[in-house]
Amino acid sequence: MKGYRKYFLNKLLWFLVTLVAAFILNFILPRLMPGDPVAAIVSRLAQGMSNTAGIQAIYEQYAEQFGTNRPMYEQFLLYMRNVFQGDFGFSFSQYPRTVADVIRSSILWTIGLQFPAIIVGWLIGNSLGALAAYRRGSFDKVIMPISIFMSNLPAFGMAVVLLVIFGVSLRWFPTSGGYGFDLIPNFSLKFFWSVFVHYQLPFWSIVLITIGGQAIGMRSMAIYELNADYVKYSRFMGIKDRKIVRYVFRNAMLPQITGLALSVGTMVGGALVAEIIFSYPGLGSTILTAVLGQDYPLISATTLIITIMVLAANFAIEMVYGILDPRIKAAQAD
């Protein structure tokens, strides 16, 4: 138990360090860029104004509001304090809504869509990969090329293909939105059904993309394990095939879990773009509206939230890994 606590604390420390680094990056990257962001905002707001003194007044007002006239470290402390209070300021493009409000209305959609989809995709992909490695033959020959091709399809490509086939041609599922545009969110059966129907296409497009990559990874892992000495030894011992497969699967799964932790960020990135294709009311669409509306506070807050989500997911996966991998307990206990 002591070894496990050490592992846990180690990972927690690392999580906090990356979190601070993410904060700093999110704060500093836009400020490193050439050009004065406040000047850019003011020049857009003051379009058509010829009065220099008026523009100057607007500029100073905004500089005061964003605090860009203060020293860098003070700005950073201010930023940290505000973020911890959940205060991201006002959204430019959806004024008078606050950024926190905009994000609150979209974050649940993204979490509800992406995390189940990635987990389901991971499970199906790994099972298929292990099966392909074990059965080989024609099953392998069919599954592998399909997986390779699917993993090469960009997430938005898969989204568009599914949308056109099942949404536009067959009309089985609606093509856009998170629920029917004629409904107001409430706790009625009708609303839940609408959400469920709208959920299907985005969900399966992310699942299918995830399956491809995971199946390929699991297959090569499992093939490698099947050639390991312990498998041969178990065969000589006359242990049942089924039991051997279980050993192999457990061993091959560990690197796949690490792989999931490391690639969850990339997957979320692709899934955000898929959300846009379906106009799903999540963070992906929020980024799009923020970019189109040149909404600086909203972009900054959304990227920070996504980073925190990915880091948290990562941390959670590391925890699961710690429980599953017996070597960690052994190594840390020494």
Applying the rule CB under 8 A, the residues between 209 and 248 that interact with another protein are: 220, 223-224, 227
Q: Which of 300, 301, 321, 328 is close enough to bind another protein by CB under 8 A?
A: 300
The torsion region of residue 136 among left (phi > 0), alpha (psi -120 to 50) and beta comes to left
Min dist CB 250 to another protein, Å, is 21
Applying the rule CB under 8 A, the residues between 274 and 293 that interact with another protein are: 276-277, 284, 287-288, 291-292
Q: Are 66 and 79 in contact (CB under 8 A)?
A: no
Q: Which of 65, 82, 152, 188 is close enough to bind another protein by CB under 8 A?
A: 152
Min dist CB 234 to another protein, Å, is 20
Min dist CB 53 to another protein, Å, is 26
Applying the rule CB under 8 A, the residues between 6 and 65 that interact with another protein are: 14, 17-18, 21-22, 25-26, 29-30, 32-35, 37, 40
Closer residue to another protein (CB): 191 or 226: 226
Min dist CB 300 to another protein, Å, is 7
Min dist CB 132 to another protein, Å, is 12
How would you write the chain as a 3-class SS string? CHHHHHHHHHHHHHHHHHHHHHHHHHHHHHHHCCCCHHHHHHHHHCCCCCCHHHHHHHHHHHHHHHCCCCCHHHHHHHHHHHHHCCCCCECCCCCCCEHHHHHHHHHHHHHHHHHHHHHHHHHHHHHHHHHHHHHCHHHHHHHHHHHHHHHHCCHHHHHHHHHHHHHHHCCCCCCCCCCCCCCCCCCCHHHHHHHHHHHHHHHHHHHHHHHHHHHHHHHHHHHHHHCCHHHHHHHHHCCCHHHHHHHHHHHHHHHHHHHHHHHHHHHHHHHHHHHHHCCCCCHHHHHHHHHHCCCHHHHHHHHHHHHHHHHHHHHHHHHHHHHHCHHHHHHHHC
Min dist CB 155 to another protein, Å, is 8
**What are the backbone angles phi and psi of residue 182, rounded to the nearest 5°?**
-95, 5
273 scored as a contact of another protein (CB under 8 A): yes
Instruction: Report the distance separating Cα 34 and Cα 291, nearest Å.
Output: 18
Min dist CB 309 to another protein, Å, is 9
Min dist CB 152 to another protein, Å, is 4
Q: Is 322 exposed, middle or buried (0-12, 13-18, 19+ CB in 10 A)?
A: middle
Closer residue to another protein (CB): 188 or 229: 229
Min dist CB 225 to another protein, Å, is 12
Closer residue to another protein (CB): 145 or 326: 145
Q: Which stretch binds another protein (CB under 8 A): 74-82, 119-127, 168-176, 230-238?
A: 168-176
266 scored as a contact of another protein (CB under 8 A): yes
265 scored as a contact of another protein (CB under 8 A): yes
Q: Which stretch binds another protein (CB under 8 A): 43-51, 84-92, 192-200, 258-266?
A: 258-266
What residue ranges bind another protein (CB under 8 A)?
14, 17-18, 21-22, 25-26, 29-30, 32-35, 37, 40, 148-149, 151-157, 160-161, 163-164, 168, 175-176, 220, 223-224, 227, 262, 265-266, 268-270, 272-273, 276-277, 284, 287-288, 291-292, 296, 299-300, 303, 306-307, 310-311, 314
